[in-house]
Structure 1
């Protein structure tokens, strides 16, 4: 068995004209500021360093190098971390860039009442009872709120965004398949000599979007695809390729799936942004979490169940997220040990009220 010789402690040259060196030193002569600080520490602690001290010259050199490093760091900051060859005036321009912004207002053009109603939603007439239907505007706002919560390391916000995105992708896939089938039937008419065009509104509705999150545009894209699909269904129905009942059922199936997604997104947002839950983070799930954090976990599990492990660990992330966390290996192992499927912990009911 070969035993490794113990490493020898580092020795510093105590000569008056010598100094410790380091390969990662910022100075050309590899001056080691940290090592020299240890050597002249007794002088640094003195209110009046003694010039007769044998290390006084190294103390003075240390003070000079410390000021030199501060100057280098100030220049680095002024140069905005740019390469040393870049003039400071050019480097400073990066701070004046600001955020990217659209030069023209984003709009959406819709031709059918089917897509327009999905965008507008449906409110209940005052004085009457019923269930309102969330529209694209409301859903986009809900998803924007969930997107913001993802930046707070909220695993349920991540779960909500992933679920909504996946369901939207499924509807778009369904629309694409059905649309391809109907366009195939319409193309057969062209081969037989019948010329046609896809129906469109004489005066399509052009609506302003005003979305400030990628999820708003995800909803807009879904709506324009529903609109295009509705035009194709009506075109096929108008030319007797499908019956009125078939056309109605085809559109209702797609609209029902869209409304289901919309209601689910609003449901997620309604509860995750409640005062009792809005501060929820992954750290609340740790065994060392305080009582109020445990109460949040208890409540969220009763509302939505256990978050999937791959989402909780960040292995599966939303299409767009504001989460920018780099966990250490120790933190990752700690989160990995959290028993998500286990029963929620028992907490004092006065700490948090279960949401209705």
Structure 2
């Protein structure tokens, strides 16, 4: 073999070895991934607090690595885990309160989210979970830990180049406003939506003040299609089990107002070099529910138990569980399956690109 042929062969081997690594992530300016929000984003922070809203037991985590119930409210990975892989920073986003996390794990990102929380300060009190204001306190604490390791300048740069995702709001309507009379006495649905959006803006302002610059804010899902909402509010809850559109219409109104708010904030803070974007999950989830795409067989009940009401401790080791969760949109009566989270993460990729490449 000639020297030229040998060099070509070596180059081919090199590129073949490199290709899988490149495919796992993207070449972006993202330094880390930082997550705030509720059970759609909590990988196990509630394991470390006193609350009934936990999922660190089977059958949760049935399809996760080594079948471990981590505290994620699904059978496997969350959308944020898939997003972390997409931007190339890590395979799974860990819970910030996990005491075993190394500094290297902290540096590439964590989730501060807590299942059961919301933008309304009353919502986390109902469930005895971590409020969004407390999550911001943990974020400050997190920065202190990073600064002690790499110095203030590098820490500031890490926060500036991190992808920040905020996912909350459903509990405010489904758990708080709908279930307890406190807010309903003082707010119409429209007024309560505006009340929540004021808290969204305050939260985002605090993130900006703490140095975050690449921020994605997740909208509400079609809440009327959550199996538990169908069971409690649909006219045909036990026959056809159609979505309760009143709740989905609340989500559509909220999402429309949220998009306008984020566009306004983006314009106002563009001089900071910030990118604040709306992350749509309503459309992708509704497409999956109504279109029966991706080989989905069940869209109006969860995989765990009857799929009508079960969630958290009601979905437990004694519950019946469907054989193949990938055939279901929802894992329990509230939370999507890993497959659904994957499909949502795929749909969000263009938005993520717009944030990270800004």
> Taking structure 2 as the reference length, what is the TM-score of the superposition?
0.25
The higher radius of gyration belongs to: 1
Return the structure number with greater strand share.
2
> Taking structure 1 as the reference length, what is the TM-score of the superposition?
0.25
